[in-house]
Structure 1
């Protein structure tokens, strides 16, 4: 059985990871908004802004990092590569993410 100390260490590590991911998302949001301001057509840039804003909203609601379809946890490394990710690799791979 894990000790309270172990749980607290895990909790602190998860909080640090969320802080890191929030920073990445906020940086991407600034970049996407700047791109949107320069874009001749708003399509792709507007979608990027919306995706990052949605990820930050999920983070604020406590739903960030879980698959929107099956509820599985999305690994930290995957979120670092694509912090707006909404689906686990299984749902994305099988096409069930749509």
Structure 2
């Protein structure tokens, strides 16, 4: 299964959303690292009852700045891809 997240940055918060048939996931983070952790957790929880144990979920997270006036610590773009394995429901 492939889940794609689009990322935005505003007012000191990173947000990510995935919208496709069968899924609508939204999460926030104060840093990119926290956002990625929250994406992994939210995706695992969202599909916990739908996927069998051991099934793979590929998560692709993308961010591209729309403006050049971002804060200096904000990267102009990034892409993060990870595969996670569904756990046994209820664990």
TM-score (structure 2 length as normaliser): 0.30
* Higher relative contact order (CA closer than 8 Å, sequence separation 6+): 2
Give the TM-score taking structure 1 as reference length. 0.28
Considering fraction of residues, name the structure with more helix.
Answer: 1
- Structure of higher CA gyration radius: 1
